[in-house]
């Protein structure tokens, strides 16, 4: 089209350069509807944005982000990102988006596919979900935002105009924002490749890496929800310096009283391990010991046969997924193996003196670390690299038939306290089944033997104790020694040969 072909309309705005156009756009900014607040005397903007939009407008003043922007350490106002924590939140958000998409489908009068219901179940359903509001700061404005352009709208609050330089610097919510990024990457990946990442955020119970068309529809709805109807509440402080941000971060994260872990787990009906404990163990009466919402020291000192919810939940996290942190256990790990959990705890429940008053001095199963060790061994044969159905069945049968003596006075529990000659006298052959002193490991013990009280007092380092107790039980049931221990013996023998 030639210039002569263009009709000039005298009503259009006067000519201007592209620089003028972009400069005006930057100056005017994008309108956002907000509610004005006065937080302890300081003006704040309270706004609600779609999750994906918030992510695009925000940033975190940690060392990495500041360095990428060419800033220096004086501008840093956030701790280092903990990706493990962020991934845990991401799983929670993914669950929420899939559930949110289901709610939107129901409200729109659409049917819910079997794939959608299955994914909700695999992610783990719960009574309610919600995300805490984000606290942010706009650095490059005057204190209290006195230089920000606003417009009052009758009956609907205030419009504030923010330009591209008005970044929402996250003060409280760094890991929530990182979790959003993880979720968006996951959703975009499965939608573009139609495959689940091998070590991604989530894998359905069917364990196939292929994303079915029905599942792709669900993930598409979840991503759409993140971009439109699923919102985040943000309280925006105005014109804070990095020093003031750091103070606010400290206050928001340190002035609250932490919830005792057992109480938190009692209230958390979302976590699949908590659900198993409350619904199956307590609900079906499969555990004789009273489950109390106090932490370990209080329970042990009572000696009334009770068990701390915190310890019981941790033991089950190890049983189902070999993890000490129940927050990292996916719903599919529990939902698919409830019968295994029932069988194991029924066997434990029938052990002599378990859950009875005075059990601390009668059975080592009163020690939470022993339960965790036993759960770890079950997981080893059930779902680890050493999984062996025959060994798993043999272990469970031995528990059910009372073949393992869990009395404190059973000498095999204190073999690490004995010399080699002593242990071979009471447990022939056990020296070839447990970690030898020549290995160089510092923690070659499960605890100390109290000769006066005739009680084995177990150490609290769960991983070490679980490993050593597992080795002892393997010896008792004539199982092969674990692969890592075999390597240790092979290396010791090799060193001896070389020395000779």
Task: Quote the crossing angle between the two packed helices 338-349 and 309-321, to the nearest 10°.
Answer: 130
Summarised one tens digit per residue, pLDDT across range 356-397 is: 999 999 999 999 999 999 999 999 999 999 999 999 999 999
> What are the C-alpha distances in Å from 50 to residues 56, 233, 380?
10, 9, 43
**How much is the average pLDDT of 437-445?**
76
- Is 1 contained in some domain? no
Q: Where are the alpha helices (DSSP H) in 69-166?
A: 83-107, 114-123
Whether residue 215 is contained in a domain is answered as yes
For the chain, how many helices (H) and strands (E)? 19, 12
Residues 219 and 320 in one domain: no
Structure confidence by residue, pLDDT tens digits, 195-206 = 999 888 999 988
What tokens appear for 213 in the block? 């068309």
Co-location of 421 and 491 in the same domain: yes
Residues 276 and 157 grouped into a single domain: no
Q: Do 329 and 428 fall into the same domain?
A: yes
Tell whether 347 is covered by a domain: yes
Tokens of 491: 């290396």
CA distances from 448 to 107, 261, 326, 339, 423 (A): 62, 28, 29, 35, 15
Name the token pair of 327.
Answer: 């927050």
Query: Is pLDDT at 23 greater than 60 in this prediction?
Result: no
Which pLDDT score is estimated for 3?
A: 41
In a domain, 154, yes or no: yes
Q: In sequence order, which ranges of 143-212 are alpha helices (DSSP H)?
A: 174-193
DSSP 306-367: -EEHHHHHHHHHHHHHS-S-GGG--HHHHHTTHHHHHHHHHHHHTSTTTTSTTGGGT-GGGS
Domain-embedded: residue 292: yes
Asked if 340 and 266 sit in the same domain, the reply is: yes
In a domain, 2, yes or no: no
Domain boundary at 254, 270, 292, which?
254
* Pair 216, 305 in one domain: no
Task: Say if residue 238 is in the same domain as residue 301.
Answer: no
Q: Mean pLDDT over residues 85-104, rounded?
A: 93
Pair 214, 320 in one domain = no
Q: How far is CA 80 from the centre of its chain?
A: 17
Q: Which domain holds residue 42?
A: 26-254
Least confident residue range of 71-85, 202-216, 310-324: 71-85
Classify 451 as helix, strand or coil: coil
Distance of CA 474 to the CA centre of its chain: 31
Give the integer Cα–Cα distance in Å for 45 and 27. 19
Q: 6 in a domain, yes or no?
A: no
Tell me which of 254, 289, 324 is where a domain ends: 254
Q: Predicted confidence band at 219 (pLDDT cuts at 50, 70, 90)?
A: very high
Same domain, 286 and 249: no
Domain count for the chain, please give it.
2
Tell me whether residue 20 is in a domain: no
Answer with the one of 200, 220, 254 that is the final residue of a domain: 254
């Amino acid at each position: 089209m030639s210039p002569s072909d263009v009709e000039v309309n005298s009503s259009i705005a006067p000519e201007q350069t592209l620089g003028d156009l972009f400069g005006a756009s930057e100056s005017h900014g994008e309108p956002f509807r907000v509610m004005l607040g006065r937080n302890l005397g300081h003006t704040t903007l309270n706004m609600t944005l779609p999750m994906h939009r918030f992510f695009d407008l925000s940033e975190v003043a940690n060392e990495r982000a500041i360095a990428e922007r060419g800033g220096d350490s004086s501008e840093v106002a956030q701790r280092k990102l903990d990706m493990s924590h962020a991934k845990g939140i991401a799983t929670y958000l993914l669950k929420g988006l899939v559930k949110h998409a289901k709610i939107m489908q129901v409200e729109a009068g659409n049917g819910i596919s079997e794939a959608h219901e299955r994914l909700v179940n695999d992610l783990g359903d719960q009574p309610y979900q919600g995300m805490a509001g984000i606290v942010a700061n706009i650095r490059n404005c005057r204190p209290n935002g006195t230089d920000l352009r606003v417009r009052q709208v009758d009956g609907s609050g205030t419009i504030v105009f923010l330009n591209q330089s008005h970044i929402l610097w996250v003060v409280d919510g760094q890991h929530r924002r990182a979790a959003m990024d993880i979720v968006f990457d996951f959703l975009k990946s499965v939608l573009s490749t139609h495959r689940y990442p091998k070590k991604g955020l989530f894998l359905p119970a069917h364990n196939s890496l292929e994303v079915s068309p029905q599942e792709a529809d669900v993930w598409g709805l979840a991503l759409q929800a993140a971009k439109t109807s699923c919102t985040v509440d943000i309280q925006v402080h105005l014109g804070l310096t990095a020093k003031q941000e750091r103070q606010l971060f400290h206050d928001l994260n340190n002035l609250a009283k932490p919830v005792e872990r057992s109480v938190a787990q009692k209230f958390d009906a979302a976590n699949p391990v908590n659900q198993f404990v409350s619904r199956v163990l307590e609900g079906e009466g499969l555990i004789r010991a009273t489950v109390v919402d106090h932490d370990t020291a209080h329970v042990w000192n009572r000696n009334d046969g009770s068990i701390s919810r915190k310890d019981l939940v941790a033991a089950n996290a190890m049983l189902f997924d070999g993890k000490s942190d129940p927050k990292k256990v996916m719903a599919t790990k529990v939902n698919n193996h409830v019968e295994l959990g029932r069988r194991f705890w029924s066997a434990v429940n029938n052990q002599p003196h378990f859950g009875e008053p005075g059990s601390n001095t009668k059975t080592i199963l009163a020690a939470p670390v022993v339960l965790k060790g036993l759960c770890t061994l079950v997981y080893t044969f059930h779902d680890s690299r050493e999984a062996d159905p025959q060994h798993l069945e043999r272990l469970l049968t031995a528990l059910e038939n009372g073949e393992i003596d869990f009395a404190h006075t059973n000498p095999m529990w204190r073999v690490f306290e004995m010399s080699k000659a002593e242990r071979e006298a009471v447990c022939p052959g056990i020296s070839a089944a447990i970690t030898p002193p020549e290995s160089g490991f510092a923690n070659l013990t499960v605890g100390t033997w109290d000769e006066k009280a005739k009680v084995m007092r177990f150490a609290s380092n769960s991983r070490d104790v679980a490993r050593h107790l597992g080795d002892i039980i393997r010896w008792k049931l004539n199982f092969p020694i674990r692969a890592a221990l075999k390597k240790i013996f092979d290396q010791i023998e090799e060193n001896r040969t070389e020395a000779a």
